[in-house]
Amino acid sequence: MTTNKLWNEYPVEKTEPEVAKIYSHGIYEAIAPPLCSSGLTGQTATLEQLEHGLTDVTDV
């Protein structure tokens, strides 16, 4: 099975009030649920995470 990574830098959602109002948890968190409900397996990650959230189990 392929593990998909939905990656986002994330600073805009934290620094721009208009963007934060729409995507308070990041745009990647808004995109992930529909993808996962369609049968894809995946995780979200951001630039500020350890190794930028890209672990050894990341395929795509």
Provide the residue ranges of all domains of the chain, joining segments of one domain with +. Answer: 4-51
The pLDDT of residue 56: 80
40's CB contacts (< 8 A; 6+ apart) are 4
- Enclosing H/E stretch for 43: strand 42-46
d(CA 35, CA 41): 8
Of 49, 60, 6, 48, the C-alpha closest to 29 is: 6
Give the model's pLDDT for residue 50.
92
pLDDT for 39 equals 82
Contact between residue 3 and residue 41 where contact means Cβ atoms under 8 Å apart: yes
From first to last of its 60 residues, the chain has per-residue pLDDT tens of: 677 888 898 888 889 999 999 998 889 889 888 888 888 887 889 999 998 988 887 776
